Amino acid sequence: MTAPTAPAAPPAPPTVALRPLSATQAATRRRLLDAARELAREGGYDAVSMRALAERAGVSAPTAYQYFASRDHVLVEVLVDLNTGTTDAVTARPSRRRDPVERTVATLRRVVALVEEEPNLFVAMTRAYISGTPEVFHARGAMQSSMRVWIDSALGSTEVADRGAVVAILESVMFSGMVSLVMGSQSPSDVGDDLERAARTLLARTLVKERIR
For 66-76, the pLDDT digits (tens) are 999 999 999 99
Using CA atoms, how far apart are residues 57 and 115, in angstroms rounded to an integer? 24
Q: What are the tens digits of pLDDT across the range 139-194?
A: 888 888 888 899 888 988 889 888 889 999 999 999 999 999 999 999 999 999 99
- Give the type of residue at 93: R
User: Which sequence spans correspond to the domains of the chain?
Assistant: 71-208
Give me the helices (H) in 118-156, please. 119-129, 139-155
What's the pLDDT at 205?
86
- 139 burial level (CB within 10 Å; 0-12, 13-18, 19+): buried
CB within 8 Å of 194: residues ≥ 6 apart? 173, 176, 177, 186
| pLDDT for 15 beyond 80 | no
CA 210/CA 126 separation, integer angstroms: 37
- pLDDT over threshold 70, residue 10: no
Is the pLDDT score of 109 beyond 70? yes
User: What confidence tens digit (pLDDT) does each residue in 119-144 have?
Assistant: 999 999 999 999 988 989 888 888 88
Strands of the chain (E only): list them: none
Residue 16 in this model has a pLDDT that exceeds 60: no
CA distance 31 to 106: 33
Architecture of the domain made up of 71-208:
Orthogonal Bundle (1.10)
Q: Give the separation between CA 143 and CA 181, rounded to whole angstroms.
A: 17
pLDDT value, residue 18: 52
Residue 146, pLDDT score: 87
Closest CA to 124 of 59, 66, 78, 187: 78
Per DSSP, the three-state class of 187 is coil
Q: Contact 176/118 with Cβ under 8 angstroms?
A: no
